[in-house]
Every structure is written in structure tokens, then in C-alpha cells.
Amino acid sequence: MILEAAMLQVKEGMIEEFERVFRQASEIISSMKGYISHELQRCIEVEGKYLLLVKWETLEDHTVGFRESSEYQEWKRLLHHFYDPFPTVEHFDPIHL
């Protein structure tokens, strides 16, 4: 399992619409091969800042399976106009303690 982490900064005045549209877009990502779960966290200190965490079975399920799919084109259409700057996306392996 890998964890995708994306820091999202939503443009001023678009927060309510973003959250509404993100609920719709959640149906897209949750239908993808290799998807395990996702959550969206709203920052307490910075208005419009969110943390998106997505668990995937493999890195390729995200970077190839999702990002090269027609479903991703719809995800982009729904969400990418909300962000400024464009999100940084990183992937993490769990450390078993």
C-alpha cells in the first residue's frame, strides 16, 4: 500500500463550491482499480488549505491507472480550476513500527 498526499490551496471565494464538487469527484476516484480509501482534511490555521490523502494498492495504480484514464480527465475538469497554486503530490511507503 502507498499513501498519496496532496496539499491543496483553494482559491478565495470558492471553498463551498469546491467541497460540494469534491464530494461528486470522490465517486470517480473511489471507483478506480487499486483504490483503497481517501480523506480530505480542512486546515484549521489557513483558510482554503486542504490535505488530500489517498491510499492505493500500488504506486502505478495512481500514476498510471488513474492518471492515464478517462476518469482522470473528468476529475481534472471538475477540480483543477479550484487550485492556486497547483497542488504538490507526493507518495509515501508505510513504516511498520
Q: Cβ contacts of residue 76 below 8 Å, gap of 6+?
A: none
Angle at 4 between CA 87 and CA 44, to 5 degrees: 60
Burial of 29 (0-12, 13-18, 19+ CB in 10 A): buried
Ranges of residues in the chain whose predicted pLDDT is under 70: none
Q: What is the pTM of this model?
A: 0.95
Which residue from 38, 90, 32 is spatially nearest to 66, judged by alpha carbons?
A: 32
Which pLDDT value is given to residue 22?
A: 98
In the prediction, which pLDDT does 25 show? Answer: 98
CA distance 62 to 56: 7
